[in-house]
Amino acid sequence: MNPLPLASSDSTARQSTGLLRWRRLQRYSFAVLSVAVALAAARLLDHFGFRDATVPLFICASAISSWYGGPGPAVLAVVLCSLAFDYFFVPPLYTFYIAPSDLPYFVIFALFTVLLSWFARIRRRVEENLGNNLLDSPTSFWYLLVMEREPQSLQEAIVYFSNPDNCIDYIAVRRWPNGVVCPGCGATKVSFNAKRRTWKCGSHHSKREFSIKVGTIYEDSPIPLDKWLTATWMLTNCKNGVSSYEIARDVKVTQKSAWFMLQRIRLAMQDDFFGSKLGGDGGEVEVDETFIGGKARNMHKSKRLKMKVREDNWGKTIVMGMLERGGKVKTKVVPDRKKPAIHSTIAETIESGTQLYTDDHTGYMDMSPDYAHSVVNHAEQYVNGRVHTNGIENFWSLLKRGLNGTYVSVEPFHLFRYLDEQMLRYNNRKNLNDAGRFDLVMRQIVGKRITFAQLTGKPN
């Protein structure tokens, strides 16, 4: 089978021409719609005796057409407004030409349109010189007004972030909602270099010039933002995670770079929920622990002996999980399943006065009297009224599906990063959609930096 031919330059030119024609048609249609709305409003007000509002309404229609459509739609709007005013409001009716008595109105419309078009042209030139970055203007109103609709799906995100200016704008409006701030000195007087897509601080100090990556997880990365944001979207929203090999194929980087990218993104996925506690005021929290690691029966005998499988937690890493019903989940890697480790983790994570539900493991016995503790014996039953741990078991199922099916092998000293990743998706699965979770992660990329040497434990 012959491969499909690549798109030629002629077809690309035809597509560009068609797109320009479609946009031109949109601008002229907007002008006609503006005049029609103004005419309908004028007729309605004329019915109630407010004929003096006719001219201001038509002037507004011409102004809107001039500002958003340009000179051509503006001239069309002026002509249509003059004809509409003459036809509907001035007797005798002149239906297909401008009445001489209305010539002053036509001149006023034309001068007003020319003046407004001139201001609109200056505005566009200023935006071009500033690099089309929303935060180069003092307010974010223009961002909401003229920016494209932000992506809501992976396909839209790939198309949207293919434009470097969109990448910068998306991050900048979240990082600096009140205007760009120099990350070195905190000054707000900065200028934008459109060619380099960087800012320059007005104060004199070292490293005055900075990009949007400075001070974020993307700092010192030569990988462009369109690849970074695509990888961030995928990791944030793929239920079972994304392997570094898949990212390497999808965004065209090496597997080593993709692994480093994913670890840096996981650093941003550490939920800001950290620091607060679960439960309290009679809340219900399920507590359980699980083993993460390879199966002993799949290990070579020498490896089983080396890892002391039967002596040291079967050669696996122990993770404690605490799920507040109707709330969020927290996890923590613990050294063992003994009482000191389990009780201290519960005290750090769960508020006093909380109803705890656990299984009958001995590590949960003799709990502090600050907690109401109920136990379910899994040898007899899994649910006893409200006493069960099925919620946290559900989280373990999702976690292990990603670890076993997607990542296959995870080193114990990196395990907490994968827990952060799964916790963020789980805690925001109901209240946020894909775009909302991506927005949440993008607001947490600042002030977090990790190097490859730190990740791999190498000395600097």
How many residues are given for the chain?
460
Which pLDDT tens digit goes with each residue over 28-64?
Answer: 777 777 777 777 777 777 767 766 666 677 667 766 6
The model's pLDDT over 182-212, given as tens digits with 9 standing for 90+, comes to 998 888 889 998 889 999 998 888 889 999 9
Output the pLDDT for position 142: 43
Q: What are the residues whose beta carbons fall under 8 Å from the beta carbon of 245, sequence distance 6 or more?
A: 255, 258
Reading the chain (460 residues) residue by residue, the pLDDT tens digits are 333 333 333 443 344 455 556 666 777 777 777 777 777 777 777 767 766 666 677 667 766 666 666 667 777 777 777 677 666 655 544 344 445 555 666 666 667 666 666 666 555 554 444 444 444 443 344 444 444 578 999 999 999 999 999 999 999 999 998 889 999 888 888 999 888 999 999 888 888 999 999 999 999 999 999 999 999 999 999 999 999 999 999 999 999 999 999 999 999 998 765 568 888 888 899 999 999 887 767 777 777 666 665 555 666 889 999 999 988 999 999 988 889 999 999 999 999 889 999 999 988 998 888 889 999 998 889 999 999 999 999 999 999 999 989 998 888 889 999 999 999 999 999 889 999 999 999 999 998 888 899 888 877 6
**Which pLDDT value is given to residue 76?**
74
Angle (CA) 131-133-137 rounded to 5° is 110
For domain 284-410, give the CATH number. Answer: 3.30.420.10
Cα–Cα distance for residue pair 3/16, rounded to 1 Å = 25
Rounded Cα gap, residues 342 and 353, in angstroms: 17
The pTM of the full predicted model, rounded to 2 decimals, is 0.68
Q: What are the residue boundaries of the structural domains of the chain, listed by start?
A: 18-129, 131-150+163-212, 284-410
Opening angle at CA 172, ends 167 and 175, nearest 5: 130
Strand pairing report for 190-193 and 317-324: unpaired
- Give the pLDDT score at 9: 36
Q: How far apart are CA 85 and CA 103, in angstroms?
A: 11
